[in-house]
Amino acid sequence: MITINKRLLMLLLSTLLLACATTPMGRTQFNIMPDNEVRQMGLQAFTNLKQKTPISNDAGINQFVQCVASAITREVGGDWEVVVFQDDSLNAFALPGNKIGVHTGLARLVDNQDQLATVLGHEVAHVLSNHSSERMSQEYALQQSMSLIQAVAAPQSALGQTAMGLLGVGAQYGVLLPYSWLHESEADLYGLKLMAWAGFDPQQSIRLWQKMDQASKGQQPAEFLSTHPSHDTRIEDLQELMPEAMQLYQQALASGKRPNCRK
């Protein structure tokens, strides 16, 4: 006779097997969210942002951002909406549903098209890698697992106490944050390839993160408690992939891909 705990284990294993997907960088990911639902969430979120956040009417910044974004998205296909928001923070984002937002603070910080392409390549990489879907799948599975454990595990047993203790800690530091850190690192590396394919100089990605480090003025949180890799770690990882990225960049230049986006 199969016990309820064994039934639960079989159910969870079956769900994991059915929910396996692969990112563009070749990593296996857990994803149970329907694409159309995630896309609709992205569209609604972008609509809300446009209603609540001032949109920049600076013609120069808009032309610059649109030029860089067009070159990046041309490599991945689809129709993308790009909006420049009047906000001094150093931020940009991309949402499911092919939406890109760039804050004026970031557009002013970068020195050139290649540095902005570093950020936009990174953000588009998040979308193409289905990181939003994976993140939501993780949180949903975690919530369901905790509910099931509370329902079937004997809380007075040593195993039950250990399981709940691990889940309580893991929910904050052991499960979700490391996955988000992984997403950021993966987007860095895939984004580096995207910008190189589009004809942007990948070496400028190093300078961009150095500038971001300077702009943070030493206020960055400890890496193990952060959802972003430290700037030093980012630079080391990018340097490791740089030879491949430079080869892709040279191939792009040879094929005539030479963006000319003037700030």
**pLDDT tens digits for range 75-94:** 999 999 999 999 998 889 88
Residue 123 is a catalytic residue: yes
In the beta sheet, which residues pair with residue 223?
none
Q: Which of 75, 123, 134, 184 is catalytic?
A: 123
- Distance CA(189)–CA(183), nearest Å, equals 10
The mean pLDDT of the chain is 77
Mean pLDDT of 49-55: 92
Q: Is the pLDDT of residue 157 over 80?
A: no
**pLDDT exceeds cutoff 60 at 170:** no
Please state the rounded mean pLDDT for residues 196-209.
96
Higher pLDDT, 125 or 144: 125
What is the value of pTM for the model shown?
Answer: 0.75
Secondary structure letter of residue 198 according to DSSP: T
Q: Is the pLDDT of residue 180 over 70?
A: no
CA distance 228 to 234: 9
pLDDT at 59 over 90: yes
Phi/psi at 103 (nearest 5 deg)?
-85, 145
Domain definitions of the chain by residue range: 31-254
The two structure tokens encoding residue 92: 């940009």
CB atoms within 10 A of CB 97: 19
Return the bridge partners of 30, or none: 20
Could you report how far apart the first and last alpha carbons of the chain are, in Å? 70
Residue 152: per-residue pLDDT: 38
Q: What is the largest CA-CA distance in the chain?
A: 71
* Predicted local distance difference test score (pLDDT) of residue 138: 63
Lowest-confidence range among 69-83, 206-220, 225-239? 225-239
How sure is the predictor about 119, in pLDDT bands with cuts at 50, 70 and 90?
very high
93-119: average pLDDT: 95
| Residue-level pLDDT at 179 | 39
Residue 229 has pLDDT above 90, yes or no: no
pLDDT at 178 over 90: no
**Total H helices, total E strands in the chain:** 10, 5
Task: Give pLDDT, residue 17.
Answer: 45
Q: Does residue 149 carry a pLDDT above 70?
A: no
Between the alpha carbon of residue 218 and those of residues 152, 211, 244, the distances in Å are: 47, 12, 31
Q: Is residue 27's pLDDT more than 60?
A: yes
